[in-house]
Amino acid sequence: MSAFRQPSVLPGFGLTFGFTTFFLSAIVLLPLAALVLMSMSMHWKEFLDVVLDPRAIGSYRLSFGASMLAATINLVFGFIIAWTLVRYEFPGRKIIDALIDMPFALPTAVSGIALTTVFAQNGWIGQYLEPFGIKVAYTWIGVTVALTLIGMPFMVRTVQPALEEVQRDLEDAAETLGAGRFYVFRRIILPTVLPAMLTGFTLAFARAVGEYGSVIFISGNLPMKTEITPLLIVIKLEEFNYRGAAALGTVMLAISFVMLLAINLLQTWGRRRVVAVGR
C-alpha cells in the first residue's frame, strides 16, 4: 500500500492540510451537502412538481436562453476586443486593457442599476432605441445585455493569451504564398484560438446562468416572462418554501457541475492541441 502523501523534508503538511480541509468542509462542503440532502428528502414526485412547474420552466428558458445568447455575443465581440488589444497599438490601449476586468471588480448591484438607467426609455442609449420600438430595460433583451457585460471579461481574458501564441511568421508565410486574409484567419488563427474561445464561451455561460445582482434590476421580474431561475429561488426562500428552493437549487448545482466538467475537459483538450500544434 502506498502512502497518502509522498515524504518531504518540508514541515507543516498536517497543520495546513488539516486546517484547509476543516475550513473547506465547514464553509463550503457541508452546507452544499445540506442543500442536496434537503432536496433528496423530498419525494421524487414532489421534487419533479417543483422543478417542472411551468413557472420554473419559464425561468430556465430565460436563464439558459439569455445566457447562451450573451455568451454567443461575447464569442464574437470578445474575440474582436482581444484581437484589438493584442494586435493594434492605439492611444488609451493600456487603460482599456485594464478596464476589461471592470465587470469582475464592479459589484453586480452597481452594474445592475447603471445598466438599467442607461437602457431605460429615457436613458442615454435607451432613448435612441425607443423610436425603433426596441425596449431593452425590463425585457429579455435587458437580461441579455446584463449577462453579456458580466461574461465579457471571461472571453477576452481567455482569448487574449491564446492570440499572443499565434505564430506571426506562419501568417506572413501564408500571405506570401498567396493566402487571402479570410483563409489565413480560418486555417491559422482560428485553429490556435478555438479551444480558448470555447473555454471562454463556457466560462461566460456558466457565470451568466447563476448571475443574480446585475440582472434583477434590468429584468422587470415578471413571472414566466422576465424571471430568472436564481430569482425564483429567492422568491421561494422568502415564502419560507425551503424545500422548493432546495429542489431548484439542486437543479442549478447539477448544471454547475456539468459546466465545471466541460470547462476542465475543454482546457485539457486545448493544452493537448497546443502541444500537438507546437510539434
Partner 1 sequence: MATRATKAFLDEHATRPGRDTVMTVLSRAFFIGVSLLFLAALLFAPLATVFAMAIEKGYEAYLRSFSDPDTAAAIRLTLTVAAVVVPLNTLFGICAAWAIAKFEFKGKSFFVTLIDLPLAVSPVISGMVYVLLFGLQGWFGLWLQEEDISIIFALPGIVLATMFVTFPYVARELVPLMQQLGNDEEEAAITLGAGGWMTFFRVTLPKIRWGLVYGIILCNARAMGEFGAVSVVSGHIRGLTNTMPLHIEILYNEYNFVGAFAVASLLTLLAVVTLIIKTLVERTGYKGH
Residues of span 102-161 touching partner 1 by CB under 8 A: 102-115, 117-118, 123-125, 145, 148-149, 152, 160-161
Structure-block grid coordinates of residue 43: 419525494
Query: What is the C-alpha separation between 23 and 29, in angstroms, rounded?
Result: 9
Q: Confirm or reject binding of residue 1 to partner 1 (CB under 8 A).
A: no
Rg (CA), the chain: 23
Asked if 9 touches partner 1 (CB under 8 A), the answer is yes
Cα separation, 45 vs 224, in Å, equals 22
Q: Which listed residue (28, 190, 224, 254) binds partner 1 by CB under 8 A?
A: 28
- To partner 1, the closest distance from the beta carbon of 5 in angstroms equals 4
Q: Which stretch binds partner 1 (CB under 8 A): 44-52, 189-197, 254-262, 268-276?
A: 254-262
Nearer to partner 1, 115 or 266 (CB): 115
* Closest CB 136 distance from partner 1, rounded Å: 10
Q: Does 246 bind partner 1 (CB under 8 A)?
A: yes
Smallest gap from residue 88 Cβ to partner 1 (A): 6
Please pick, from the candidates 50, 66, 71, 206, the single residue that binds partner 1 as defined by CB under 8 A. 206
237 binds partner 1 (CB under 8 A): yes
* Closer residue to partner 1 in complex, CB, 164/277: 164
Residue located via cell numbers 431561475: 229
Closest listed residue to residue 53, CA positions, set 232, 219, 200: 232
Binding status of residue 276 toward partner 1 by CB under 8 A:
no
Q: Is 227 helix (H, G, I), strand (E, B) or coil?
A: coil
Instruction: Encode 257-266: b = buried (16+ Cβ within 10 Å), e = exposed.
Output: eebeebbeeb
Rounded Cα distance between 10 and 49, Å, is 55
Q: Grid cell 499565434 — which residue?
A: 166
Tell me how far, at minimum, the Cβ of 172 lies from partner 1, in Å.
9
C-beta closer to partner 1: residue 90 or 279 = 90
CB-based contacts of 260, cutoff 8 Å, min separation 6: 206
Question: Is residue 171 within the footprint of partner 1 (CB under 8 A)?
Answer: no
**Cell output for 53:** 412547474
